[in-house]
Structure 1
């Protein structure tokens, strides 16, 4: 039911963060623009930023299969909002 959003498949590096405050920012290495539930293209030169505690409080769904992403094994999850910065989104 995603009207407009970004599907983030891979992020690049650990980005800048303030671990104690839960703040993070990472570059999107592989991401897709979604409109009306359909992938309509790739996003380029974008980054996401936010607060991990806010993200956890806005999770809508969590997948049932976890995959390795670097040193972390995590399932896919769908959350309500995060800040996105880039040239064109």
Structure 2
């Protein structure tokens, strides 16, 4: 079984008041390319998706676009346990 594991994305992170959203959007696009090329049976997303407990609207939209881009066309098994 082929899986892709992602963790600690920290979307919305700022470094010295500099937004990392543009860089994060680029990397998420590259991850989508890898998913399309490798065709895994599942994608495991663990750890901190957002950088803050109350994320910015931009970070939430970015993750929504990212997750939607590979889950719309594929069968994804989704499990959210704490």
Question: Smaller-chain TM-score range?
Answer: under 0.3
More helix per residue: 2
- Name the structure, 1 or 2, with higher relative contact order (CA <8 Å, separation 6+): 2
TM-score (norm 1): 0.23
TM-score (norm 2): 0.24
